Amino acid sequence: MRIYFMGICGTAMGNAALLMRALGHEVMGSDTGIYPPMSDHLRGAGVDILEGWSAERLAQLKPDLVVVGNVASRGHPEVEWLLEARTQPYVSLPELLRTRLLNDRRNVVVAGTHGKTTTTCMAAVLLKANGTEPGWLVGGVPRDLPDSSHPGKRGGPFVIEGDEYDTAFFDKRSKFIQYLPHVLAINNCEFDHADIFRDLDDVLRTFSHVIRIVPRDGAIVANGDDANVLGLVKNVTWAPVVRVGTGAGNDAVIADFQESSTGSSFTLVWKGKEWGRVKWALPGLFNARNAAMAAVSAGLLLDARDPTKLKLDSLDKFQGVQRRQQVLVDRPELTVIEDFGHHPTALDLTLESLRVRYPQHRLVACFEPRSNTAARKVMQDGFREALKQADEVFLAPPHRADKLGEERFDSEGVAAAITAAGKKGFAPASNDALLTEITSLVKSDKFPRCVIFFSNGAFGGIIKKFAQAVA
């Protein structure tokens, strides 16, 4: 089959294209932002990338199926041709995955506001280490798997990140509705994606939809310490619900968590009996929770009656995902970290962990309000309170501020509030100005510092420049 991807260089679309290529399909696609590493991965796999959008070119290619990415909406020339010609079948990315990959699999779908990518990666690593030949689709660059996507053994388990964001311009349901969960993991649930969800109730409603399609021989793995998640599963009678958390009332308990300057450790207890102890380099209780959710989900897929048959040894060497608490510079007097954090809770938990890991360092947080939610005022108070955990805070201008008007995040106001609270807040006029100021600060004295950059985008390219300048 010849499959055409509209927006092929996006992370999810590109990895899905690679999956289809691995399954033997002829794959091609169009995009405007054609950059490494995705462009290199695609071309290396024999996938044709066509620059720009062209209705005439699409008509000449006559693909058997067109996959419409979220980058495309009404007014897009290729979309308009599809709708007018009515000669080419088209689907959304989630529908493609459901019909061409997931429909004959026992799938682990990892959902939640935070930790999806890391937990998905952990579950895939665990299943792989336990000999199941899984497939996976991870929304990031894993450091413990050969690629971000892999089809796995035909008919075998598949682990996929379950995104609650909408599907396509013609299907406004959340993506995870299409993913046919056998085991559904819900890490947590908070308000996010203010551009498509009205409020927390709106978010909870879409999670309630995916819960309803878990089969009776499957399972829902729920964060037993999250009130919103517990509210979602309290009336579930059609499938087993397994609770994971630090509280003694959970089915799987994260016990004896310890953190130091070199890593952390914890014991996973299943129904009162020790399953195993994990000792690794990853920071934070939040990562221990991710691991517990991954282990229980993978274990239930391996053996629904006794998930502890899953061996946990592979977690000890787990390195994580690029841009998730990734250390770029590591010297006694200076540590530089890059993180994908773009929600107040994520920033709060990460900074809390760094305080423990680097007790003698000044903690410097650099935050780019970039996502559709973070760039707006809706979560500004939460970001302000989270960032107060740092000693010195640099706030970049919000992304695409000119399009947000009075809704936009007030970097100057947050910086002033942080300074008023006894810390140091800075709001440079541009990313380049931020780079100049923080470089000067770090070089101006001999205080040991831990500098962390939070952004779900490129931060104007300054993270790499800063790491090089201080290396």
Per residue in 370-419, pLDDT (tens digit) is 888 888 888 899 999 999 999 999 999 998 767 777 888 999 999 999 99
Residues 260 and 290 placed together within one structural domain of the fold: yes
Whether 126 is covered by a domain: the verdict is: yes
Whether 97 is covered by a domain: the verdict is: no
Q: Which of 273, 293, 317 is the last residue of a domain?
A: 317
pTM: 0.89
Surface-to-core class of residue 469, CB atoms within 10 Å of its CB (0-12 exposed, 13-18 middle, 19+ buried): middle
340 vs 300: which has the higher pLDDT: 300
Structure tokens, 90: 């088209």
Torsion of CA 271, 277, 281, 284, to 10 degrees: 30
Residues 281 and 337 placed together within one structural domain of the fold: no
Q: Indicate the helix (H) or strand (E) that contains 186.
A: strand 181-186
Q: What is the pLDDT of residue 460?
A: 87
Whether 99 is covered by a domain: the verdict is: no
Whether 66 is covered by a domain: the verdict is: yes
CATH code of 423's domain = 3.90.190.20
59 vs 407: which has the higher pLDDT: 59
Q: What is the pLDDT of residue 457?
A: 83
pLDDT tier at 322 (50, 70, 90 boundaries)? confident
Q: Cα(154)–Cα(157) distance, rounded to whole angstroms?
A: 9
Residues 124 and 221 placed together within one structural domain of the fold: yes
Residues 371 and 433 placed together within one structural domain of the fold: yes
Closest to 149 (Cα-Cα) out of 182, 188, 112, 121: 121
User: In 170-226, where does DSSP find H-type helix?
Assistant: 200-211
Residues 295 and 363 placed together within one structural domain of the fold: no
Residues 282 and 357 placed together within one structural domain of the fold: no
Residues 354 and 268 placed together within one structural domain of the fold: no
Provide the domain limits for residue 69: 2-92
Is residue 71 within 8 Å of 7, Cβ to Cβ?
A: yes
Residues 312 and 331 placed together within one structural domain of the fold: no
Q: What is the pLDDT of residue 164?
A: 94
Per residue in 453-468, pLDDT (tens digit) is 999 888 889 999 999 9
Whether 267 is covered by a domain: the verdict is: yes
Q: What is the pLDDT of residue 403?
A: 76
pLDDT tier at 224 (50, 70, 90 boundaries)? very high
Is residue 278 within 8 Å of 312, Cβ to Cβ?
A: yes
pLDDT tier at 324 (50, 70, 90 boundaries)? confident
CATH code of 154's domain = 3.40.1190.10
Q: Which of 92, 115, 137 is the last residue of a domain?
A: 92
Closest to 298 (Cα-Cα) out of 101, 130, 111: 130
Whether 380 is covered by a domain: the verdict is: yes
Surface-to-core class of residue 422, CB atoms within 10 Å of its CB (0-12 exposed, 13-18 middle, 19+ buried): exposed
Q: What is the pLDDT of residue 140?
A: 81
Number of domains in the chain: 3
For the cut 90, the answer to whether the pLDDT of residue 429 exceeds it is: yes
Whether 98 is covered by a domain: the verdict is: no
Q: What is the pLDDT of residue 446?
A: 82
Q: Cα(192)–Cα(165) distance, rounded to whole angstroms?
A: 10
Q: Please give the backbone phi and psi of residue 56, each rounded to the nearest 5 degrees, phi first.
A: -65, -45
Q: What is the pLDDT of residue 195?
A: 84
Q: What is the pLDDT of residue 25?
A: 96
Average the pLDDT over 258-278 and give the result: 95
Q: Which residues pair with 3 in a beta bridge?
A: 27, 65
Q: Indicate the helix (H) or strand (E) that contains 356.
A: helix 344-357
Residues 145 and 79 placed together within one structural domain of the fold: no
Q: Which of 265, 292, 317 is the last residue of a domain?
A: 317
Torsion of CA 371, 377, 378, 380, to 10 degrees: 90
Per residue in 228-256, pLDDT (tens digit) is 999 999 999 999 999 999 999 999 999 99
Residues 307 and 386 placed together within one structural domain of the fold: no
Query: Is the sign of the CA dihedral 450, 455, 458, 460 positive or negative?
Result: negative
Surface-to-core class of residue 183, CB atoms within 10 Å of its CB (0-12 exposed, 13-18 middle, 19+ buried): buried
Residues 297 and 347 placed together within one structural domain of the fold: no
Packing angle between helix 116-129 and helix 285-302, nearest 10 degrees?
50
Residues 68 and 111 placed together within one structural domain of the fold: no
CATH code of 52's domain = 3.40.50.720
